[in-house]
Amino acid sequence: MGGLQFKVGFPIFGHAHRSMKPQSPLGWLIAASLLLPLAIDAQSLVLPGTQPLTMEGDLAAQLVGGIDRYLDRVLADAPKNRARHWNRDLSSPEAYARSVETNRQRLATILGVVDSRAPAQLRASAPLAGDLKGNPAEIGRGKGFRILAVAWNVFRGVQGEGLLLEPDGEAKASVVAVPDCDSTPEQLAGLQPGLPDSDQFARRLAEEGCRVIVPFLIDRSDTYSGLPGVRKLRQSQRETLWRAAYEMGRTLQGYEVQKVLAAVDWLIAQSAGATPKPRVGVVGYGEGGMIACFAGALDPRIELTVVSGYFVNPSLQDEPIYRNVWSLTDEFGSAEIVGLIAPRRVIWERGNYPLAEYPKPGQPHDGAAPGALRRPSADAAQKELEEGSVWLKDVPGVAEWKLIRGEPTDVINDETLAAIRAGLDLPASVLTTQEKVNATRPAPDNSQRLLRQYSQLLEDTQWLMREAEFTRGAFWKKADRKSAAAFVESAKWYKEYFLNEIVGPIPTASLPANPRTRKVSETDAFTCYEVVLDVHPDVFAYGILVLPKGIKPGEKRPVVICQHGLEGRPRDVADPKIESQYYHAFACRLAERGFVTFAPQNCYIGENRFRQVLRKAQPMKLTLWSFIMRQHEAILDWLAAQDFVDPSRMAFYGLSYGGKTAMRIPQIIDRYCLSICSADYNEWIWKNTSARSSYCYLYWGEYDMPEFNLGNTFNYAELSWLMIPRPFMVERGHDDGVAPDEWVAYEFAKTRRQYDALGLGNKTEIEVFNGPHSINGKGTFDFLHKHLNWPKPR
C-alpha cells in the first residue's frame, strides 16, 4: 500500500442522517457544537495550505503507471517529432547525402559502430589452417562456386567468421548474405539441412555468379551464458552481450554490423582494378535483416540493401532486450533509415519473420528480460509505410525503394531475387536447377564456432571495461583543476552532457503542483503527511513529509530527503511503526533530531513492470531518472515555499537504489546542497560489466542497470565530482553484498583526491562500519548536522 488510507468525510452527512434536522435554535446550537470537533479534526488531517488527498489504492503503482502512459504519448508523437534532428537538403542527391551525414554518424554512435577496423584479411577458419591459397578452407561445392570456411579480422581480437562462396569465374557482384541468427551459414549455403531450398538465398546468389560472404551470428540460445562455476542462466547469450556492451557504448547489433562492414572491406579490395567493378550488396533476413538495414544506412559503399523479416519496431520494449538501442526511436524509424540509404537502392520484403520468446513458455525468467519476436500486424506495417511516405517525399533516389509484399512464408522470394538481380546489374534469368551442394570435407563445429565468437565479443567488452578509466580520463581533460571555482565552471559542460546524453531530460513541470496532503501518523516528536504533487499529465510526485513538532513561528529548518531503495516505499523510511533491517526509519530518526524530512516514492518498484517502462523510455532517449529528476524538482520547489523550510539547506540521503539516486539526481539539481550515498557507492562500471565477478549485474535480473556509454564518461568518482563544491559522503558496511570493500575504497580514493586537490577535503567523507546493507546513521547523521548547520541533540 502507498500509506494508510483516509477518506475525508463523515457519516453524519450521509444518507442515514438526513432526517436529523434541528427543530429549534437550541437544536442548531447543539448540532453546531457536535460538528465543531469534527471540523477541527478534518482540518488537522491536512497540512495547512494544501488540499485534502483523496487518492486511493497503491499510489506507487499509480505513479509507475502514469509514467508509462506519459511514455505512450511520447512514443506516439515520435514520428512527427523526429524532424527536429534533421536538416535535409533535397536540392540534389549529392547535397542530400552531405546534409544527412550528421544523422548517419549519430546512428553509428548509438549502435556503437565507433571503432576503426583493421585492414581486411580473409583466412581459413579454425580449425582449418593458413591463408586461402591452395584451398585449405574449401568444405563444399555448388553449381559454379566453391564453399570455403573463413574468418576475417575486424578490430582488436574480434573476428568475423563464416563462409565464402567463391564463383568459378569472375564475380558478377559482391554480396554479404546475413542469415537470421538461429540459422548457420552452412544452412544458408545449402550445405547443411534446416532451411528449404527457397530460403537458401546465399546459395541462390552464388549460383547467379556472385561472390558471397555469409557471416555467423550469435544465436538466441543460452548455451554459454552465465558465470562459469557460479551461475548458469536461461538468459540468452545475445542478452548477456547486450548488457556488457551497452554500458560501454556498444551494442550487439553494432558488433555484427562491424563484421559485415569488414567483409565489405574485403570484397571491395578483391575487385580493385576490375572493369567494370562489381556492385556491392548486403542481403539479410531476420536478425540478419536488421544488420543489413543498419549496415546499408551507415556505409555509402553498399549499393544495394535488401531487408527481409525485419522492421524497425517503434515498440522496442516488446522485443528481446538485445535489440534495444538508446535513442533509436526518438531519431529513426524505417523511413529515416531508408532515407540514409537513399539515393542508393533499397528492397524491403514483408514476408516471413522469425519467432522467438523470452523466457520460453513454461520457464522462469531466471534473470532474463522478457521479450518476443512476432510477425508485425498488417496495420503496423501500413502505418510505417504511410509515415515513411510522408518523410521520404521528394528525397532524391527514393524511386529506388522497392517494397515487396510476400507471403507469410517467404524469405527472399522470386520477386525479391529478381529485384536483387536488377539492383546488382546481374543478367535477368530464372534458374531452374535443383542441383544440390556437395560437402568436400566436414564443416566447422558449430558449437566451437559459437563459443569462439561469443568469447571474442565478451572479451572485447572486458577490454573496453579495463580501458575505461583511461577513456574517461581523456573525456575529462576539459575539466579545469586550477581551483575549485575553475573546476565548478568547467564541470557545467559535464553536467549538461550527463543530463542530455545519459539521463535524458523530459520538459520541466507543465502543471501547477496543486499539493494534496493527509496525515498518516503522529508521535510526540513529529507528524507524518502523505503528499502528492502534480508534474505533468499522468506524472506526479508522491511521498511522506515528516514534520518535527515545536517549530517556532518564522523558524527555518534544514530538510533531508530520505530515499528508499529497490521495491521500497516512503513508509519504509518514514513510518515510526515500521522497523526495517535496512532503513531503521531513518526519516523519523532525523526528524527526532529536528530536521524536516521527506521520503519520496521513486519509480523503481513493481519488478519487471518498472523495468519494461524503462525499456520503453530508453529508445526515446529517456530513463527513469528523467522522471525522478522532475519529481524531485517539484518536491524541492514545494518544500522551499514552506515557511518552516530553509531553501538553502536541502540535502539528499539515499540507501541502495536510493544511493544510486544520490549519485545522479543531486548532481543535476543544484538545489540539493549535499548528497549522501549509502550502500551503493562502488566501482560502478565493473559492477555492470565484469564477466568475472559474481557481484556483477551481468548475470542477475536487474536488466535496468546498464546506462548507455556510462563506462566511457562517468564512473562513481566522476559523478561525485559533479557535486563539487557541495559536500558528499559515502556510507559503507563491510558486510554489504553490493560490492567488495576493495572496489569501494579504490573508487572513493578518486573522489577524495579530487576534493583534496581543490582544497575541499573537509567536504567529503566515507564511513565504513561493521554491518550489512543498511543505514548506520552515525557518521552520516554527524555529517548532516555539520554541513546543514543544525545542532546535535544533547
Tens of pLDDT, residues 309-325: 999 999 999 999 999 99
Which residues lie across from 653 on neighbouring strands? 562, 676
pLDDT at 41: 43
Burial class (CB in 10 A: 0-12, 13-18, 19+), 779: middle
Do 582 and 774 contact (CB within 8 A), yes or no? yes
Set of cell numbers at residue 135 = 584451398
What is the C-alpha separation between 131 and 254, in angstroms, rounded? 27
Query: 641: phi > 0 → left, psi -120 to 50 → alpha, else beta; which?
Result: alpha
pLDDT at 134: 55
What is the C-alpha separation between 303 and 143, in angstroms, rounded? 26
In 549-586 the beta strands, taken as DSSP E runs, fall at 557-563
Do 506 and 535 contact (CB within 8 A), yes or no? no
pLDDT at 692: 92
In this structure, the dihedral spanned by the alpha carbons of residues 323, 324, 328 and 333, taken in order and rounded to 10 degrees, is 40
Query: HSE-up of 83 (CA within 13 Å, CB side)?
Result: 9
Set of cell numbers at residue 682 = 562502488
pLDDT at 133: 57
Place of cell 515557511: 643
Please give the model's pTM, rounded to 2 decimal places: 0.92
H or E element, residue 650: strand 645-655
H or E element, residue 574: helix 570-574
Do 216 and 186 contact (CB within 8 A), yes or no? no
- 228-275 pLDDT, tens digit per residue, is 666 667 789 999 999 999 999 999 999 999 999 999 999 999 988 888
pLDDT at 38: 32
Which residues lie across from 341 on neighbouring strands? none
Reference 63, options 617, 615, 540; nearest CA is 540
For residue 343, cis peptide bond before it (omega within 30 degrees of 0)? yes
Q: How long a stretch of residues is the chain?
A: 794
Q: Give me the residues of the chain with pLDDT under 70, please.
A: 1-43, 127-135, 228-232, 364-365, 429-434
Going by DSSP bridges, is the β-strand pair 674-678/728-733 parallel, antiparallel, or unpaired?
parallel
Q: What are phi and psi of 342, to 5 degrees?
A: -60, 145
